Amino acid sequence: MKTVFITGASSGIGEACARKFAQNGYRLILNARREDKLLQLALQLKQDYGTPTLILPFDVRDRDTVRDRLQSLPTDWQDIDVLVNNAGLALGLEKEYEGDFDDWDTMIDTNIKALLTVTRFVVPEMVKRGKGHIINIGSVAGDAAYANGAVYCATKAAVKVLSDGLRIDVSDTPLRVTNIKPGLVETNFSVVRFHGDKERADNVYKGIQPLNGNDIADCVWFAASAPEHVQIAEMLVLATHQASGSVVYRK
């Protein structure tokens, strides 16, 4: 049975990916900060699919904890076939010169540094075994800046470049690297961005049918289930009435 490790798995795209891989016979290592949500999800997946699930409740920004928890995995859980670097967030929507320093730090530490940390502790073992797939959840925001989102866009541009660089670095191995770049996806993403302001978050999706977590999980699974000689390097996934990170037609 193959093993997938998903960060940020307690809700949204991460939770949807967990369900998708469970449906297809994988066993799961699930990470998020909220242990209660992970336990609930693991129980549901066990009931629905009989999926063996190991939960790792910790903050991926804590490098020492990431190292310790991954290095202390039970022996029979150490061979990770697919890594889904999903943990990430946007905070605030202000002009760059008016941004909040704490929001900047959280986005950079989570979207870039934590992704690097998890990759650093998982990929060397994949290289040793000669198999593995790293799937990073980027964003259309990484293709071009949009108004009041410069720092978030910069972090997702970093995800693209880091994915491309890793793909180069493992090109002499059978490993595959994929960058999935969603557009508007209705999850708790905007609620987090606006620090819990649900009304403001809901306005993001008014007048358009956005994507949902299952749509992105389908794309992740498509990449993961491709034949071993096929590497889906990058996938841009937009709602039908979204043309780019900043161009959206609303009814």
**Domains of the chain, with CATH numbers?**
3-237 (3.40.50.720)
pLDDT at position 233 = 98
Residue 151 burial (CB count, 10 A): 21
User: Quick check: 201 pLDDT over 90?
Assistant: no
Average pLDDT over residues 205-226: 97
Residue 234 burial (CB count, 10 A): 17
- CA neighbor of 53 nearest in space, from 62, 63, 44: 44
Residue 91 burial (CB count, 10 A): 20
Active site residues: 152, 156
User: Quick check: 197 pLDDT over 90?
Assistant: no
User: Which tens digits make up the pLDDT trace of 27-83?
Assistant: 999 999 999 999 999 999 999 999 999 999 999 999 999 999 999 999 999 999 999
Number of H helices and E strands in the chain, helices first, is 9, 7
pTM of the model: 0.96
User: What gap in Å lies between CA 101 and CA 87, rounded to an integer?
Assistant: 20
Average pLDDT over residues 172-178: 98
pLDDT at position 68 = 97
Average pLDDT over residues 133-137: 98
Task: Give me the chain's average pLDDT, please.
Answer: 96
Q: Given pLDDT bands bounded at 50, 70 and 90, which one contains residue 188?
A: confident
